Amino acid sequence: MNLITNRAEMNQLSKQLKQNSKSIGFVPTMGFLHEGHLSLVAKAKQENDVVVMSIFVNPLQFGPNEDFETYPRDIERDEKLAKNAGVDYLFVPTVKEMYPTEMGSKLTAIKRTNVLCGKSREGHFDGVVTVLSKLFHIICPDKAYFGMKDAQQVAVVDGLINDYFFPIELVPVETIREIDGLAKSSRNVYLDASERKEAPQLFQSLTLAKNKILQGERSIENLTLFIKRYIEENTSGEIDYVEMYSYPSLEPIERIKGKIIIALAVKYSKARLIDNIVMDVK
C-alpha cells in the first residue's frame, strides 16, 4: 500500500491509473477505521482495479460546539487496517493541504439537508460536499463508496454528483452492525459501559417498527410514537429525533408508502448515535 499526503502526487497517480485504463474505487473516511469502513473497501475491491481510501478529519463539517478536536484519531492503526484490507493507495492530507488558502467560494448543500441530522448540524453538509468535491477532483474515482448508516449523507452526495455532473457512480453499502445490532461507528468508543449495553435497543426499536409496517401499519404518527416510547422505556438516551421521509429525496410523507427511511438520533453523555432503516413499502 502506498501512503500519499500530497494532493498533486495523488492526482498525478490517479491520472496515470486512468491512462492505464484502471478503474478506481474510492472510499472516503475520517479514519479511526472499523468494520463498516472495511466493508466499503471489500466492496470497492470486488468492483474496481484499484482502491483509494482517504483519511481526513474535515474541519469544515464540524460545528463550533462539535468534536473536531477530540474526534478519535489513530493513523498507525488505520494504516495497518487499510493495508490488510487491501487498500492500494491511502491518501492522508493535512488540513493545510486540503485548505491551503481561505476559500473564496462556497458550496452549499440546499436540498435534503433541513431534516434529520442536517437540522441540528448547521453547515455540516456544506462541509461534506465541499471536501468531497475536492477529493473527487483529486482522486477522479469511477465509483465512490458510502455507508448507509449515514443515509442522509448518501442522499446529499447523490444530489452533489447529479448537480455537478461528477462522472462517478455512487455505491451505497449496507450498515455493518455489532453482533447485538448496534451500528458500527467511530463514536461508539465514547459510550460508557451501561450506555453501550443498552445502545442496541435503538436498532431494536427500528426493527420492531419495520415489523409493524410489514404487518400493515401505515400511520407515521403511530410509528413515531411507538419508537419514541420504546427508546424512552428501554434506554437512558435523550431522543434528538425520530423521523420518516421518502428516500433518497428526503421529502415529508403523509403515510408510509414507497421507498422510505425511518431514522433516529439519540444523545448519550459523550456520544450522539444515529441509525436508520430504508424500506420499500407497497
H or E, element range at 272: strand 272-281
Residue 29 contacts ligand PAF per CB under 6 A = yes
Nearer to ligand PAF, 190 or 230 (CB): 190
Number of residues near ligand PAF (by CB under 6 A)? 10
- Pick from 14, 39, 48, 58 the residue near ligand PAF by CB under 6 A: 58
**CA–CA distance, 152 with 147 (Å, rounded to integer):** 10
Instruction: Out of 34, 37, 124, 137, pick the active-site residue.
Output: 37
Q: Between 140 and 256, whose beta carbon lies closer to ligand PAF?
A: 140
Under rule CB under 6 A, residue 161 binds ligand PAF? no
Q: Which three cell numbers stand for residue 268?
A: 448519550
How far apart are the C-alpha atoms of 202 and 243, rounded to whole Å? 13
Question: What is the nearest approach in angstroms of ligand PAF to the Cβ of residue 127?
Answer: 7
Let me know if 34 is a catalytic residue.
no
Would residue 48 be called left, alpha or beta, if left means φ above 0 and alpha means ψ between -120 and 50 degrees?
Answer: beta
Give me the helix-helix angle, 220-234 and 200-214, nearest 10°: 150
- Chain positions 163 to 202 lying near ligand PAF, rule: CB under 6 A, are none
Residue 274 binding ligand PAF, by CB under 6 A: no
> Of the two residues 153 and 235, which places its CB atom closer to ligand PAF in the complex?
153
Selected from 4, 10, 17, 30, the binder of ligand PAF by CB under 6 A is: 30
| 264, 202 Cβ separation under 8 angstroms | yes
With CB under 6 A as the contact rule, the residue among 25, 28, 118, 237 that binds ligand PAF is: 28
Using the rule CB under 6 A, give the single segment among 91-99, 127-135, 170-178, 257-265 that binds ligand PAF.
Answer: 127-135
- Rounded Cα distance between 132 and 210, Å, is 33
Cα–Cα dist 79/87, whole Å? 9
Q: Quick one: CA dihedral 203, 206, 211, 214, positive or negative?
A: negative
How many CA atoms lie within 13 Å of 37's alpha carbon, on the beta-carbon side? Answer: 25
Pick 29 or 39: Cβ nearer ligand PAF: 29
Here the cell at position 224 is 413515531
Could you say whether residue 150 binds ligand PAF (CB under 6 A)?
A: yes
In the complex, which residues of this chain contact ligand PAF (CB under 6 A)? 28-30, 58, 61, 128, 131-132, 150, 153
